[in-house]
Amino acid sequence: MAFESPQNSSQKNSNLLPFNFQSEMVWWPYQSLSKSLLQTHHNASALIEINRMLADEMRNIARREQDFVFELSERILNRKNDGDHKPPETVDEIFESAISGIRQFNQAVVDAQVRSIEAFHRHAREAVDQKHQQAAE
């Protein structure tokens, strides 16, 4: 049994492959896939960053809401006049304040979500503009 040297087998294999591996067209699918994966990675990174910002805003809103609820409950429990010369708040006034506060918190949530969607829009617009710019080059 005779073994061929690596040089002899590579010469035979080079005759089997008619492609010119130095050509740009041979590497184009790999470059294209690489660019697509890079863009996907960039988009995923932007998505995570936008979601983190939204989560941070929502956490701050939840903290403010908790503080508001504690303040409201304290006002309800301390309805008596503690030496102030002004009359104590009525139950109706306290709950009107609660309703107003809830509306403000809901508006803050909506505003945070809108800012998040606007950030997604900006990122998508930048990606489209970048793609058009690359196509023009």
Question: What is the per-residue pLDDT across 65-76, written as a single tens digit (0 to 9) for each?
Answer: 999 999 988 887
pLDDT per position as a tens digit, 94-121 = 889 899 999 999 999 999 999 999 999 9
Task: Decide: pTM greater than 0.85.
Answer: no
Confidence class for position 28, pLDDT limits 50, 70, 90? confident
**By C-alpha distance, which of 101, 97, 91 is closest to 65?**
101
Q: Hey, what long-range contacts does 48-54 have (CB within 8 A, 24 or more apart)?
A: 50/116, 50/119, 50/120, 50/123, 51/116, 53/115, 53/116, 53/119, 54/112, 54/113, 54/115, 54/116
Is there a contact between 123 and 46 (Cβ–Cβ < 8 Å)?
A: yes
